[in-house]
Chain A
Amino acid sequence: MEEISDKDLKKLSIDELTHLFVDNINEQNLILIEGIEFLADEKFDKFTQNLKYVIETNTEVRIKKTFESKIFKSKLMFSKADRLKLFNKINDIKNIGEYLANRLLLYKVVFPDKEFKLQIISIMKSLRIISNDLAEAIKNIGTDLSKAHDICEDIKEERRKMRDEEWKLLNRLYNYDMDYLSRTFLYLKNLIEDIMMLADHMKNFSEYIQFLAIKYLIFK
């Protein structure tokens, strides 16, 4: 993502800073998802490179600091807390992503079989859709709350589909003829659960966006 100088950052509005922040975090999310797909394909170098990028990138910190200094000076009391909460929820995605990346880098796993790989890739596809939709919904809060609300419905639907896949995957994992205290088992179990955690946060986030839409579109 293109670097923006501090001076230019300060010129941006609260909404524009939120857009920039969400683009930044979404980009990192997509790199994380791609990294997990590399893991499934046993491309460990690319996997490591992607996940290290997620952990080491901190361009969003400058955006966060600029946003915080602006929001505390904002005179729009009625929306101030919501704007801040929105921003913090985006930041939580980064935190969860970073946590996931750190855990995944602990070990290089080889997936048990092709079916497992395909199911992981299918889940990653859903996660990518959710991540992109969430970024789109967040960007629409400023301009079209109804649209943001509708996009969040799609996110919830995608999450539902994804959850079914995750249970199938866990079921598959628990039925392999495998040592249940082995690193491979624990790693794969954690991988699935961490992906679920990230997806759950995004789903909860989308519900918060719907709450905002209802709150601000009370007269519709």
Chain B
Amino acid sequence: MAVNTLSILVIVLIILAIALAFSIGANDETLSTLVGAGVLKFSLALLIGGIAVGAGMFSFSFAFVAKTVGADLLGEALVYTDFMLLTVLISSILWLIIGSFAGIPLSSTHSLVGSIVGVVFVYSFTQGVVNPATAFNWAKLNNVILGWFLSPAFGLIITFSLFRILAKTYLSRLKGLNQIERSEKYFKWFLLVAVIFAEIWVGANSGEALGILYGLLDNGSLNFESYLLFAFFCGISSCFGIYIAARFVVRNLASQMINSRPSEGLITQLSSALILMIATLLSLPISHSHVIVFCIIGMSLAQKKEIDYKGLGKMAMYWILTFPIAAIVAGFIYLGFNSFGLT
């Protein structure tokens, strides 16, 4: 392993990538349905969820979303420089911190890809060696952005359809609370399987940390063995993120979910896991939070419950704004580096 030969900047990038993996775990709310349904003891649920996310992140690190973020979004003639990667990290983290303080729910995926676009544009304009028109793999970038719109829509449709089928074929036949409770006892265990399945794909689709490492692999700063080792560390880090830090988010959300039935949680988690799986296998980084929000909307529509369209519209506006703002922020930061001759 070539750690000794790595520059300080590469080490900083690796540490930041591992820290980002921790924060991915720390912000993961997937387990709240499981905890809210009382399937497992809190600590055990966190441990199982953490292992599933870490395993998913590491298992799919050799290609898929990590490769898209770390290499495939760029045009053929272009690889990331270490400062480009640093800028992408700083910009996406900065925008997420601003969002958190302002209480705005943002997507880390949109923020990351937006930052990449901003940095690459500035790089191609300032360096002059790359044509901005060929700086991107436009087909890939279009697919990624298309995926951002399609994944929530499909999340809604799949949840709605699956739940209507389940309701029509089974749930509507349950006559009394005893029968409902008995059947929900079984659904609890299916929910456990669905949440583990979902966590694996949440980890697999979290391209933020591994994308940076893949960029280092692609530009030759890391060899494949080192990459796999650090990807493994990222997996461990995300596992710790869930176990140590996600407990606050999970506890908070779980307490709001105690009224929802395990069968509802099962369908929501299963739908979002399916979407994440398909997106990962197509190497498309998507926003898990967007998908889950639309899955919940699908569930509400299937149950004919009211939907807060005003809140949803506000959220959608922030989602749309994240990409351009992250791109602009990243562009300015990279310009700042350039002014000091750091490219």
Contact = CB atoms under 8 A, between A and B. Distances in A.
B36 A142 contact: no
A183 to B, nearest CB: 47
Contacts of A80: 258
A219 B184 contact: no
Contacts of A82: 177
A76 B258 contact: no
Q: Determine the main DSSP class of A at the interface with B.
A: helix
A63 interface: no
A145 B175 contact: yes
Contacts of B37: 77-78
B172 interface: yes
Nearest to B36: A77
Contact of A15 (B39, B167, B172, B177): B177
Given A77-B38, A78-B37, A216 B177 contact: yes
Nearest to A74: B38
Nearest to B304: A218
Contacts of A79: 177, 180-181, 184
Contact of A78 (B168, B176, B262): B262
Contact of A143 (B172, B176, B188, B303): B176
Contacts of B177: 15, 79, 82-83, 141-142, 145, 212, 216
B261 interface: yes
B258 A143 contact: no
A148 to B, nearest CB: 8
Nearest to B167: A219
Contacts of B168: 219
Given A77-B37, A218-B303, A146 B184 contact: no
Q: Determine the main DSSP class of B at the interface with A.
A: helix
Interface residues of A, number: 22
A82 B247 CA distance: 27
Contacts of A218: 303-304
Contacts of A141: 176-177
A77 B179 CA distance: 15
B55 to A, nearest CB: 27
A216 B258 contact: no
Contacts of B5: none
Contacts of A146: 175
B176 A76 contact: no
Interface centre among A78, A79, A81, A82 (most CB of B within 10 A): A78
A80 B38 CA distance: 11
Interface in A56-82: 75-82
A51 to B, nearest CB: 34
A212 B180 CA distance: 12
A140 interface: yes
A15 B180 CA distance: 12
B178 interface: yes
Nearest to B37: A77
B153 to A, nearest CB: 24
A220 to B, nearest CB: 6
Contacts of B304: 218
Minimum-distance CB pairs A-B, first 5: A143-B176, A219-B167, A142-B178, A219-B172, A77-B38
Interface of A: 15, 75-83, 140-146, 212, 216, 218-220
29 contacts: A15-B178, A75-B38, A77-B36, A77-B258, A77-B259, A78-B258, A78-B261, A79-B181, A79-B184, A80-B258, A81-B258, A83-B177, A141-B176, A142-B176, A142-B178, A143-B175, A143-B178, A143-B179, A145-B177, A212-B177, A216-B177, A216-B180, A218-B303, A218-B304, A219-B167, A219-B168, A219-B171, A219-B303, A220-B172
